[in-house]
């Protein structure tokens, strides 16, 4: 987990890309987990959360969940991006940004189970 939290301007830019967010209690309720387990998942990279500077609430992009569970490919993809020195903010921005060469957004490919192409691209990125 990257401890640095986004500024208001950075969060608003990310919010424009992400669109829909969820909270730790909402994830706990939808998955049937206790909320401390959701916190652990944010710590180990299974999920990625940001503190919203407008209200202080930690939020998780809703598209990181599918059928009530974190998408399987997220943790490994975030590890690749972090290994390439991306901050969580940069990594999530990349995941939610349209890429004409795909075409689409990397997050859409991860949700479709096409992690190999996204991780290959993540390994060769120059941020």
On whether residue 54 sits in a domain, the answer given is yes
Output the pTM of the full model: 0.92
On whether residue 110 sits in a domain, the answer given is yes
Instruction: Using DSSP bridges, classify how beta strands 65-66 and 58-61 pair: parallel, antiparallel or unpaired.
Output: unpaired
Distance CA 27, CA 16 (A): 21
Distances in Å between the alpha carbon of 91 and those of 29, 33, 34, 36, 49? 26, 26, 27, 24, 12
Count how many domains the chain has: 1
The token pair that represents 88 in the structure block: 């969580």
Distance CA 29, CA 74 (A): 20
Q: Using 50, 70 and 90 to split pLDDT, how confident is the model at 126?
A: low
What does the DSSP 8-state code read for residue 5? Answer: P
Q: How does pLDDT run across 30-82, given as a tens digit for each residue?
A: 999 999 999 999 999 899 999 999 999 999 999 999 998 999 999 999 999 99
On whether residue 127 sits in a domain, the answer given is no
On whether residue 14 sits in a domain, the answer given is yes
The token pair that represents 117 in the structure block: 């192409």
Mind giving me the DSSP string for 55-76? Answer: T--EEEEGGGEETTEE-THHHH
Burial class (CB in 10 A: 0-12, 13-18, 19+), 86: buried
Q: Using 50, 70 and 90 to split pLDDT, how confident is the model at 16?
A: very high
Q: How does pLDDT run across 71-125, given as a tens digit for each residue?
A: 999 999 999 999 999 999 999 999 999 998 888 999 999 999 999 999 999 888 7
**pLDDT value at residue 127:** 52
Print the domain residue range for 50.
Answer: 8-122
On whether residue 3 sits in a domain, the answer given is no
**pLDDT value at residue 1:** 47
The token pair that represents 53 in the structure block: 């500077």
State yes or no: pLDDT of 8 exceeds 70. yes
Q: Average pLDDT, whole number, for the chain?
A: 93
On whether residue 58 sits in a domain, the answer given is yes
């Amino acid at each position: 987990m990257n401890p640095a939290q986004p500024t208001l301007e950075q969060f608003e830019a990310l919010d424009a890309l992400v669109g829909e967010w969820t909270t730790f209690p909402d994830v706990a309720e939808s998955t049937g987990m206790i909320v401390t387990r959701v916190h652990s998942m944010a710590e180990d990279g299974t999920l990625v959360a940001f503190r919203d500077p407008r209200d202080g609430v930690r939020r998780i992009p809703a598209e990181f969940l599918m059928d009530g569970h974190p998408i399987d490919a997220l943790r490994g993809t975030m590890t690749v991006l972090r290994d390439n020195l991306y901050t969580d903010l940069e990594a999530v921005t990349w995941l939610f940004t349209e890429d004409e060469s795909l075409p689409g957004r990397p997050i859409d490919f991860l949700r479709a189970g096409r992690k190999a192409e996204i991780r290959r691209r993540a390994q060769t990125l120059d941020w």
